[in-house]
Amino acid sequence: MNVQWFPGHMHLTRKAIAERIKTIDVVIEMVDARLPASSANPMLRELLAHKPSLKVLNKADLADPARTQQWLAWYEQHLATKAVAMDSHHSAPAQALIEACQALAPGRGAMDKPMRVLICGIPNVGKSTLINTMVGKRAAKAANEPGVTRREQRFALQDGFYLFDTPGVLWPRIIVAQSGYNLAAAGSIGRNAFDDELVALELLAYLQKHYAAHVLARYAVLDGDGPAEQAALAQMPDFELFERIAYKRGALLPGGRINAQKAAELILHDFRSGALGRLTLETPAEFEAWLATGERLDAERQLRKEQYEQQRQAKKRPKKR
């Protein structure tokens, strides 16, 4: 998938975060609970080494609770990182974050030794919402379009406790194709960077296999939603399912052909709003497999590039007489 990518901006953000980190006591890294690995930026791991940090799987109200538990266990086992799931609109879990920060950096949080917490995460993951909930007023502006550049902001939570928003824009790093589709489905990358129909088809292909009951309950594309229908749905070509949904939901052009753009938008809207149910688009095991494939393809590409360079250099060399 063709996704816009801004390495120049990332370089600046990296520098800004590295600078800010020096005076930070705890880092809260927010990811989207529906796509925890795809919505993370691996660069942060290296920047945050040796800093107490807390992973927040946000928008857990939209994610599959069983899979969220799998991810929480995976973070604690594989990355030795404390992880919590939350809906950042609610103040009780936000309050619990304050206690978690205090546990990670005991001794900080007084006037003479303030607690400084950096909230990191890709656009649209819920940073402003969490800050607003923690500060208790509309302090940070929630932008509804991903990719809006914001300056670093500092918020006083209480005496001796400060929150800092990510300096610069932390783009996701799209290592594997599936991450690009998942980020697009969740609305985490700018609309101009992807094709709605392709993203909706990829989303359906995944949901058919893993959440057939949810798809049948929402769109009633088969007569019934029992095990036999779920098995039939899993076998259906994704474009056939897409077409059936378009007909069922009246996404049609004059003359009766399907309006693919409208159908794609309504499927993506249903996923993003939670109308399709609580869904998670990746498990730790799936992501590990995608990553292995992505890294192998990357290594092969690198090898081809090096071979090409060598051939080019060989052609340039003057022939010996």
Which residues fall in the annotated binding site for GTP? 58-61, 124-129, 168
- State which residue, 273 or 293, has the beta carbon closest to ligand G4P: 273
- The amino acid sitting at 107 is G
123 lies in the binding site for ligand G4P (CB under 6 A): yes
Tell the smallest beta-carbon distance from residue 130 to ligand G4P (Å): 7
- Closest separation between CB of residue 202 and ligand G4P, Å? 21
For ligand G4P, the binding residue among 40, 101, 120, 125 (CB under 6 A) is 125
> Is residue 59 at the binding interface for ligand G4P, with CB under 6 A as the rule?
yes
When the beta carbons of 186 and 246 are compared against ligand G4P, the nearer one is: 186
Sole binder of ligand G4P in the list 73, 79, 142, 299 (CB under 6 A) = 142
Q: Give the residue, chosen from 48, 62, 85, 281, that forms a contact with ligand G4P under the rule CB under 6 A.
A: 62
State residue 103 phi and psi, 5-degree precision. Answer: -70, -35
**Can residue 58 be called a binding residue for ligand G4P (CB under 6 A)?**
yes
Amino acid at 157: L
- Contact flag: residue 272 with ligand G4P (CB under 6 A): no
Taking CB atoms, the residue at the shortest distance from ligand G4P is 126
How far apart are CB 68 and ligand G4P at their closest, in Å? 12
Binding site: residue ranges? 58-61, 124-129, 168
Is residue 32 near ligand G4P by the rule CB under 6 A? no
Q: Residue 36, interface with ligand G4P (CB under 6 A)? A: no
Residue 132: both structure tokens together: 């607003």
When binding is defined by CB under 6 A, the residue of 41, 124, 182, 208 that contacts ligand G4P is 124
Rounded CA gap, 152 and 206, in Å? 37
Q: Is 68 in the site for ligand G4P (CB under 6 A)?
A: no
From the list 20-28, 74-82, 118-126, 276-284, the region that binds ligand G4P by CB under 6 A is 118-126
C-alpha–C-alpha distance, residues 199 and 177, integer Å = 11
**Taking CB under 6 A as the rule, does residue 144 contact ligand G4P?**
yes
Does position 129 bind ligand G4P by CB under 6 A? Answer: yes
Q: From CA 252, how far away is CA 272, in angstroms rounded?
A: 22
Q: Which stretch binds ligand G4P (CB under 6 A): 5-13, 138-146, 201-209, 224-232?
A: 138-146
Backbone region of residue 290 per phi and psi (left: phi > 0; alpha: psi in -120 to 50; beta: other values): alpha
167 forms part of the interface with ligand G4P (CB under 6 A) = no
What's the rounded Cα separation, in Å, for the pair 273 and 277? 9
283 binds ligand G4P per the rule CB under 6 A = no
* Binding-residue pattern over the window 78 to 97 for ligand G4P, x denoting contact by CB under 6 A: ---------xxx--------
List strands edge to edge, sheet with 154-158: 82-86, 53-58, 26-32, 115-120, 161-165, 154-158
Size of site (CB under 6 A) for ligand G4P: 18
Residues interacting with ligand G4P, by CB under 6 A? 58-59, 61-62, 87-89, 121, 123-129, 142-144
